[in-house]
Amino acid sequence: MCGIVGAVAERNITAVLVEGLKRLEYRGYDSAGVALLNEAGELDRRRRVGKVSELEAALKAEPLPGRVGIAHTRWATHGAPSERNAHPHFSGHQLAVVHNGIIENHDALRDQLKSLGYSFSSDTDTEVIVHLLDHTLKSEPDLTAALKVAVKQLHGAYGLAVISAKQPDRIVAARSGSPLVIGLGLGENFLASDQLALRQVTDRFMYLEEGDIAQICRDEVQIWDIDGKAVKREQVQYHEGAEAADKGEYRHFMLKEIHEQPSVVQRTLEGRLADDHVLVQAFGPQAADIFAKVKNIQIVACGTSYHAGMVARYWLEELAGIPCQIEVASEFRYRKVVVQPDTLFVSISQSGETADTLAALRNAKDLTPEQGGYLASLAICNVGISSLVRESDLTLLTLAGPEIGVASTKAFTTQLVALMLLTLAMGRVRGTLDPQLEAELVAELRRLPTRLGEALAMDAVVEKVSEHFSEKHHTLFLGRGAQYPVAMEGALKLKEISYIHAEAYPAGELKHGPLALVDADMPVVTVAPNNELLEKLKSNLQEVRARGGELIVFADEKAGMSNGEGTHVVNMPHIHDALAPILYTIPLQLLSYYVAVLKGTDVDQPRNLAKSVTVE
């Protein structure tokens, strides 16, 4: 994924920019570049394909000192990964830009700018920004004022930063759909797409909000909101180590990671949504072409990622109308598979190094067209520099950040978000998704972090419910439709960290066998959103109650379910049915966490398990 770093200082800032890029390196990228105003006040740049170390070597061979500069790691969406497409992009020798995101109307802008005499030296959408700004500067010579005018013509998503040889005292920046944060120093200030990049130089930050424009000088930072009004953004101070390596105020990494979900889901959505649709190029430069040809999808994954894939199968068939199969990687890799024509191979893995998933991808790629090879491969992964990402044609990174707890939590919900983005992108490209529903779901995705926060606020209620489990040895989890895999994930979490035997069933299967197990010692956990399967689910629950089974039901506040003898109902905030699997995951994570705490197990490092399963 792209990263942006910028600095305005009185000292040479080349090393700060390069170090910032390195800190964003774990997300993966294909090229990197830096542009500075050199000692003579001229704009100069170095760009390289490959790792930041390539850029670093280039800067060593040919130093580029300066006090004002911007830098970028690129993950191509428009135009191949090459030096000429790497950022920063220039307009003449005056103006340089770095950009994260996608400018959707770049074709129209490019034609317009060409007719005004601009020539383009890259294939990126980004280059239109810098020429557009240059053109705007002809009637509005102040750089900041010109940026305010120019961004009004950009459609899509951007976090961008600009420097100019004519106004060498500042970086100007704009945010719409892609995050930007200002780092505050003493007599120097910084900019980045993630505060991680700047932790070496400051611990004080100011986050830009949607539509903000910022002017960052050495001694002063000014911000204007979407309406052009001068605003102040709150200053946030981070303490050293407040990131992944520290549990902060939490007792366990798992609880910390559960509570990080609103912010990491937000991050996974950033830069990937336009007003009412998903930006298809977020999956890579060839995504639109490949997606248009896809007739089937094969998902392969293990463990929690497999459950995310199972939810996606419901979504892809129901919302995008595309046939979808899913299989665990350890089975898939040793099986002779029959591939339907034009099938997209989708692998899901937190680490991108899961041995079975990687082997399955490699096997899939080895199939020749005569053997019915796959059309292309897509990785949904949390680590940008992983093997799975490197070896797949397309990638959508989940931006969950490092996950330390062995039992996966935030990696799962961000995978679900990524898979919903895939569903919406597929539906759009294939024309199978009603545009009104698409817009509704995009709006719901935007509200999702808030909903997740509301679900997390039920922490104490779930903790109380967990007391019903600590003495039990077996549990059943039930769900219907896309909530069935959520029940599976709930059962897996309980097994992993509390060592209580738990099994998940589609609620309709209960009477076909597992009902025989139900008695007063077998609590039954159910997720019950308010959808068309609710009445059927209620009947299944009656079947449990009639056998003396104790019920714990997480139900939509509008589902009309209430506490009764042996029935404990936890009301959940209302949410669009399609996104309910993401929301209902939260109380099940909290439940297993509190049961494990009551049982006194090693929550973050449960026995016999490891984080990234790189062996077979």
Which residues belong to the active site? 2, 611
384 binds ligand HGA (CB under 6 A): no
CA pair distance 366, 380, nearest whole angstrom: 20
Nearer to ligand HGA, 24 or 311 (CB): 24
Residue closer to ligand HGA by CB (options 193, 483) is 193
Enumerate the β-bridge partners of residue 162. Answer: 97, 172
- Given the complex with ligand HGA, which of 13 and 76 has the nearer CB atom? 76
**What number of chain residues touch ligand HGA (CB under 6 A)?**
15
Member of 36, 102, 344, 452 binding ligand HGA (CB under 6 A): 102
Q: Give the CA-trace dihedral at 366, 367, 369, 372, to 10 degrees.
A: -160
Q: Is position 2 an interface residue for ligand HGA (rule: CB under 6 A)?
A: yes
CA end-to-end distance (rounded Å), the chain: 29
* Residue 267 in the binding site for ligand HGA (CB under 6 A): no
Does residue 50 contact residue 37 with C-beta atoms inside 8 Å?
no
Other C-beta atoms closer than 10 Å to the C-beta of 135 total 18
| Among the residue ranges 73-81, 255-263, 409-417, 501-509, the one whose residues contact ligand HGA (CB under 6 A) | 73-81
Which residues on adjacent β-strands are paired with residue 476? 503, 524
Stretch that binds ligand HGA, among 69-77, 537-545, 565-573, 580-588 (CB under 6 A): 69-77
Query: What are the Cα distances from residue 49, in Å, to 29, 75, 83, 170, 554?
Result: 9, 11, 6, 28, 50
- Contacts for 161 with CB less than 8 Å, ≥ 6 apart: 4, 6, 70, 97, 98, 171, 172, 173, 180, 191
Please report the sign of the dihedral spanned by the C-alpha atoms of residue 600, residue 605, residue 606, residue 608: negative
Q: Which stretch binds ligand HGA (CB under 6 A): 71-79, 181-189, 326-334, 370-378?
A: 71-79
Q: Does 165 bind ligand HGA (CB under 6 A)?
A: no
In the complex, the smallest distance separating the C-beta of residue 255 from ligand HGA, rounded to whole angstroms, is 31
> Using CB under 6 A, which of 78, 474, 501, 599 touches ligand HGA?
78
- Residue closer to ligand HGA, measured from CB, 177 or 606: 177
Does 526 sit near ligand HGA (CB under 6 A)? no
Angle at 178 between CA 175 and CA 181, to 5 degrees: 65
Shortest Cβ 2–ligand HGA spacing (Å):
4
Least Å distance, CB 280 to ligand HGA, is: 12
Residues 6 or more apart whose CB falls under 8 angstroms from that of 407 comprise: 254, 493, 496, 497, 592, 603, 606, 609
Question: The tokens of 457 are what?
Answer: 């606020």
Interaction residues for ligand HGA, span 348-377 (CB under 6 A) = none
Q: Which of 46, 48, 75, 553 binds ligand HGA (CB under 6 A)?
A: 75
| Residue 77 is a binding residue for ligand HGA (CB under 6 A) | yes
Look at residue 174 and give its three-state secondary structure: strand
Determine, following the binding rule CB under 6 A, whether residue 99 of this chain makes contact with ligand HGA.
yes
Residue 549 binds ligand HGA, judged by CB under 6 A: no
Does residue number 33 form part of the binding site for ligand HGA (CB under 6 A)? Answer: no
Task: Establish if 125 lies at the interface with ligand HGA (CB under 6 A).
Answer: yes
Residue 306 makes contact with ligand HGA by CB under 6 A: no
The torsion of the CA quartet 378, 379, 384, 388, rounded to 10 degrees, works out to -110
Q: Which residues pair with 36 in a beta bridge?
A: 44, 69
H-run or E-run covering 455: helix 435-456
Among 9-17, 70-78, 420-428, 527-535, which window interacts with ligand HGA (CB under 6 A)?
70-78
48 vs 193: CA distance, rounded Å: 20
Which of 4, 59, 96, 124 forms a contact with ligand HGA (CB under 6 A)?
A: 124
Which among 9-17, 98-106, 367-375, 434-442 is the span making contact with ligand HGA, rule CB under 6 A?
Answer: 98-106
Q: Any contact of residue 485 with ligand HGA (CB under 6 A)?
A: no
**Which stretches of the chain bind ligand HGA, using CB under 6 A?**
1-2, 74-79, 99-102, 124-126
